[in-house]
Amino acid sequence: MGKTTVTLTLLASLRRSDRLVQSFKVGPDYIDPMFHQHVTGLPCRNLDPVLTSEAYVQQCFARHSQLSEYALVEGVMGLFDGIGHGAWDTCTERRRSMGHGQEKQKSTNFASTAHIARLLDLAVVLVIDCSRLSGSVAAIAHGYRSFDPRIKIAGVVLNRVGSDRHLSLLKDSLEPLQLPILGVLRRQDNITIPDRHLGLVPTAELPELNALINRLADLGDTCFDWQRLLPLLKSEPLPSTDAINRVSPYSPSPSFPVRIAVARDRAFNFYYQDNLDLLQQLGAELVFWSPLEDAAIPKDVQGMYFGGGFPEVFAQQLAENTSVRDGVKTAILQGMPAIAECGGLMYLCEQIIDFEGKSWSMTGVLPTSAVMGGRLTLGYRRAVALQDNLLVKANTTVYGHEFHRSHLTLPPTQPLFETSRYDCDENMGCEGWGLPANIHASYIHLHWGESEEIPQQFLKECLKVAPS
């Protein structure tokens, strides 16, 4: 059991007792939020100041946490693991793209869990893997508590405790610190969540997930000190409706009455909920459909959105659905605007070549193929648009995240972006397809929370298309 499993244990126990809880995830992750939503019934929200801004993180948390009785934020990596020293400040760089000056953010843990805890003034519950610890647990806890005095460590959860004797040693070691033990989770050999090359296997592929969640709820009912935990999780309501409206990042009224086909199934399911909300707030009707299962594109749509996911895992089924492949290609070549991120980009290629070297035909919109490999491409990106395209104007700077194990056989002749790493000036090359001009196909995942002009531009282009 790791951090995500401990988080799900907390959420499952809260929901079993009919408590409404809003969850959040630090960072750009897509899969962990799927598990959160499966348990809570509410979309999990990503808190990422790199993809958005510090102000947006605060607004997002305030907007959504006050609608539930409890709120819980799952961190990312270790407490202080963030963007390295000299990272670019998102707001400053975004101002520079509009003609202003340029500065650097001097922070060694920008976008870390600690950074988010400071921004939101939240207490931290430290989960410690005790499987290979006894007396050293105190040194670890003391180090985390003293490293940054601005962080409020409310207590610890001792994870993977082996026996009563093991627990006794851990407690004796921690006693001088007077740091509350908020939970004790014994080793659980029968509780595992399978994973694959990009992390956990998504919820839609786990038929036994509900049984697992029930076991986690059973565990959570007995392993936590709820009397101490519940006050930490209690949401603080905003004082008025006006205050709620002030922290809303969305336009007040819809202005783009269009229908957008959003591919959402086992192959395509990496979407930031805030992006989908923004499209709806701007007036779009989202039509969810499956390139795996459906026989055709939804009727009367004026645009398409293909998120990331695992098309390589379902490449044969995607390839065999020739009517949809042909329909997607025809619609795009006839001018329908389409956003395709990562897995969506792969679907627009001529082929996907899987880990076993087998080739599977895709839509063929792009004259290149996606080849799966062992090399992981991972990291935040600062991307400057090289030309006007479907979503942004030339020279606009956007911030995104790459996470994939595929590469393309041929690069684009007129790429969308020149990219560099977020935390330094290292050039990462050019990428992204904008030909035909009505597509935006890129490995870079974008969060639109601080860039409402991106979905606005997309929907403007969709309005030019007659429903088909």
Interstrand relation of 45-47 and 124-129 (parallel, antiparallel or unpaired): unpaired
Cα dist from 142 to 74, 126, 155, 174, whole Å = 21, 11, 11, 9
* Paired strand residues for 70: 21, 234
Q: Is the Cβ–Cβ distance between 60 and 43 less than 8 Å?
A: no
Q: Are 449 and 60 in contact (CB under 8 A)?
A: yes
Of 428, 430, 433, nearest to 391 (Cα)? 433
Q: What are the structure tokens assigned to 435, written together?
A: 């030909």
Which helix (H) or strand (E) segment holds residue 108: the answer is none
CA 457 to chain centre: 23
Residue 145 to residue 151: CA distance in whole angstroms: 7
Q: Which of 60, 223, 342, 349 is catalytic?
A: 342
Please give the DSSP secondary-structure letter assigned to residue 223: H
Fill in the DSSP letter of residue 373.
E
Q: In 3D, which of 146, 142, 137 has the Cα closest to residue 184?
A: 137
Instruction: Give me the count of residues in the chain.
Output: 468
Beta bridge partners of 110: 83
Cβ atoms of 279 and 286 closer than 8 Å: yes
Backbone phi, psi, residue 429, to 5° = 90, -175
For the question of residue 60 being annotated catalytic, the response is no
Q: How far apart are CA 308 and CA 443, in angstroms?
A: 9
Sign of the CA dihedral with 308 first, then 117, 60, and 48 last = negative
Coil, strand or helix at 380: strand
Which of 156, 166, 75 has its CA nearest to residue 118? 75
Active-site residue list: 342
